[in-house]
Amino acid sequence: MAWGLSVMARGFWRPQNYITTSRRNEGTSLCDVISTVMPKAIRHTLLWGTVLVLMGCEPELPAFTVADVREVPAHFPAYVEPADNPLNEAKWELGRHLFFDERFSADGMLSCASCHNPSLAMADSLAVTPGSSGALGVRNAPALVNLAWQPRFHREGGVSSLEAQVLAPVQEPTEFHRDLVELVDQLGQDLQYQEWAQEGFDRPFDAYVMTRALAAFQRTLISGSAPYDRWLQGQAEALSPAALRGRDRFEEFECASCHQGVMLSDFATHNTGLYASYVDQGAYRLTFDSTDIGAFKTPSLRNVALTAPYMFDGSLPTLESVLEHYASGGSGHVNQDERIQARALSARDRSDLIAFLESLTDDKFVTWSEGLRP
């Protein structure tokens, strides 16, 4: 019952999403009243089926969708979930708890949220986050946002499924450093997890359940309520004059050719000329094509003002330093994207670009994300 109550306590109940009708003949029945005012999470946990029998109401419940926990912005593409992993309430709740579970790491000190901090728009403030027992990797933790619309994952875009992506940090020595079988056995001792597994997947807790619950939860990390979004939806006053000028510069300097569309990413890999020689060779690790050396997936710029430091290795500490890198024309690496050219940016250009990038901050998303902690 506690898991259902937590949904309401954290503000996920929006009454308009739960209004149903169960009228018999004419007039309004007691079933109508309950169905209208009582959130679905509580209806489930209060043995709703028994209540319906006693009251003579039909045992029909509306399907649980992403709208029950997070609004999909009207200007976004259609929300599509995998046919083999549709969202349900128990699955979402299991995924939420797993995301914050520190038993994932070998030392019992780290969870997914340790590197993907809700207060930082699901990113991290460190260039490289220490993994289990302090082990260091080489990459900056990406912000987890709008994953339902991403076609591939990891910095080099090497994984096409969010369900499969979950496995990488679990077994990576510089991250959780866990044996998958041992982790599943340990988490499977949690009776609440077993209950959610049965409710959400109709099977005991196992690796299949773990990966799919985490993926289902992460798809609901939707950010689309920034001032820029309001401007896109016709609220002209949502952007300041400086932000509007910054948007013009963003287009003029071809930033939008990679950071494009409502997702602010083409999700393709590019060499942005960060280095003349790359230790981390990016997409080359997948393709063994020398033209992919130093190519990394374009990150979304949503909430970018909150997700410093920047670049795939966290080597640029501020937005100003990122602008300076691109204005300088990059390192001139042989694979550097041809659109990256030296440009003269005035002080006003820089401040306007920063104003535009700050308009991509979704305070509602951050507040909602902070409320996800069990």
Which CATH architecture is the domain 89-223 placed in?
Orthogonal Bundle (1.10)
d(CA 346, CA 357) in angstroms, rounded, equals 17
Containing H/E element for 297? strand 296-297
Residues 6+ apart with CB under 8 A from 57: 22, 29, 30, 31, 34, 35, 51
| Residue 78 CB coordination number (10 Å) | 7
In tens digits, the chain (374 residues) has pLDDT values of 434 434 433 333 333 332 233 333 334 333 443 333 344 443 444 333 433 333 344 334 457 888 889 889 999 999 999 999 999 999 999 999 999 999 999 999 999 999 999 999 999 999 999 999 898 999 999 999 999 999 999 999 999 999 999 999 999 999 999 999 999 999 999 999 999 999 999 999 999 999 999 999 999 999 999 999 999 999 999 999 999 999 999 999 999 999 999 999 999 999 999 999 999 999 999 999 999 999 999 999 999 999 999 999 999 999 999 999 999 999 999 999 999 999 999 999 999 999 999 999 999 999 999 999 99
Give the dihedral sign, CA 265/267/268/271. positive
Q: What is the DSSP letter of 270?
A: E
Q: Which two tokens stand for residue 246?
A: 């910054």
* Domain assignments of the chain as residue spans, ordered by start: 2-62, 89-223, 228-365
Q: Is 228-365 the same fold as 89-223?
A: yes
d(CA 296, CA 227) in angstroms, rounded, equals 28
| Residue 259 CB coordination number (10 Å) | 20
Give the dihedral sign, CA 177/179/182/187. positive
d(CA 150, CA 315) in angstroms, rounded, equals 24
| Residue 291 CB coordination number (10 Å) | 12
| Closest by CA position to 65, among listed 222, 274, 234, 241 | 222
Polymer length of the chain:
374
CATH class of 228-365: mainly alpha
- pTM (global) more than 0.75: yes
